Chains A and B, each alone.
Chain A
């Protein structure tokens, strides 16, 4: 996704000014000239200046570079849904893995992504299960990472 530099500049300047405002409330250290606000304050100042330069540059180039330019994949439903599945899948894992458990969450995520990437249904279903089981075995059994069991707790092995 191509975005005109002016848009980036605006976002960065806003971020810089926000940080500068926030650090004003940081406490001073008694007897010292420097405190926790100094370093992030200097960085935010630099970010704001760079943001303004980027805004000017983007504005001057606005006839050549569009404000937003959708990438090629944006026009392909399969690639668009692939991006959605990837983002949604990771968010789903964060939200649901503790409740549902690692194995079902990982399996669902893998099946959805593989189907989108044109792996056939039977292959996706079986491979996703094998991969989820193998990763679970390697991490949970060998490396002792506490992957959640969730709904599968009664049959945990």
Chain B
């Protein structure tokens, strides 16, 4: 273990990795602070660049950029009343109300400090839970994996979406896309239309860039709402009063971090849902619920911690089972495969140094977030004035060349365009996108484990419930599917 840990330190503290982290931090802070650019988009845009890096710097870039972006999404929320990323949306009105009361420093400072605290809490859980789960998961067979993947997909549909039917549809569309090509247990070309480019399947990265970046560019180009105006001229010292807040709200910080980590670990639910749930919980258990919505810091402290802890939580199922906890880790899994770090329990025994390095990266990212975040808040007025009518065309060009760079293929650019338009159309019509992403990422794994299990059991479906863990996971999955229906019927009768 010590040798692996020393190797991890060596890889992380290499000047190149540290330099990548600094640049990725600045990139993440900028992307998060510009409304319309999300943390997932930052990850998607980073992939083509990480393609040319060694595994650890590549992961370092994603971990730091996303942690920074989730925090800096608070800045335009607080100053313009527009959340920089969806993860800040839950408490944007609250933070803006504080700004109107002349307390922008306190709101931004709480966002920064408790983001870092939440991020470190999530990291601690990741460090403790992931290896223990991996030890347990090493005994899993195809039956357990089948149910685990299905349970993950089920959670993505039922828990993270208030429209289960539309969630099921986007999930199925994602699974259908995953069926394209030769990558199935029979090695038979499916839905390729005789096109050699489609034999290898639909590229995951071009799809992600399309769904998360191109759809945002479309939204910007067709946005008819007038630009928002800054209400503060200067932001003072953001650290003032934060220690007092930490002493006043320890339970809220702990509760937000714990809930955030748990929600993050649920497949499909990410930082945005963690923040919404946490804000609602904070209000429910607050001694002063009437103050919520009038510029009260309590909800910001709790949900600010929750959204950053969710980031680390999402890595638990991603590293241990290859099941993404959110859309960021869905992209990360693609990167891990590209870097020969195939996620799964064996990763913990075959490449422990890489796992330790990931843990270290999370710790460093959440610590350097504080000084860099302070600088970002100081420069926020300038960042918010960056002309988006120049930035968006630049992002578009980067999407095109970044997608092209993965396989040097213009076909992938076409995939990106189609994915972007489809994602835009679906979101306009209230179809959730996260289940589709999970369907694409997990479709191959679900089919492989399903077919393997069917062959092993000679077509006997009862075999899916014969092993104890598989049976437990199976029952849990079926409960999530059918319990809401049963409850509805009971209430009616």
Partner-B contacts on A (CB < 8 A): 1-3, 5, 8, 12, 19, 22-23, 26-27, 29, 32-36, 38-40, 43-44, 46-47, 50-51, 53-54, 57, 71-73, 76, 79, 82-83, 85-87, 89-91, 93-94, 97-98, 102, 106, 109-110, 113-114, 116-119, 127-128, 131-132, 135, 139, 143-147
Contact = CB atoms under 8 A, between A and B. Distances in A.
A101 to B, nearest CB: 13
A91 B417 contact: yes
Contacts of B16: none
Interface in B355-393: 387, 389-390, 392-393
Contacts of B459: 33-34
A117 to B, nearest CB: 4
Contacts of A147: 401, 404
8 contacts: A44-B176, A47-B176, A83-B218, A86-B396, A118-B389, A135-B397, A145-B405, A145-B408
A145 B52 CA distance: 10
B208 interface: no
A54 B222 contact: no
Contacts of B202: none
A26 B184 CA distance: 13
B486 interface: no
A2 B430 CA distance: 9
Given A94-B410, A145-B405, A147-B401, A43 B417 contact: no
Nearest to B401: A139
B246 interface: no
B140 interface: no
A110 B425 CA distance: 24
Given A2-B429, A82-B222, A114-B393, A143 B405 contact: yes
A72 B225 CA distance: 10
Given A71-B428, A93-B413, A36 B389 contact: no
Contact of A135 (B387, B398, B451): B398
A23 B447 CA distance: 15
Contacts of A27: 188
Given A33-B454, A109-B393, 17 more contacts: A3-B425, A34-B459, A36-B185, A36-B188, A39-B450, A46-B168, A50-B168, A73-B222, A73-B223, A76-B224, A79-B224, A87-B421, A98-B410, A106-B397, A135-B397, A139-B401, A143-B405
B218 A86 contact: yes
A83 B221 contact: yes
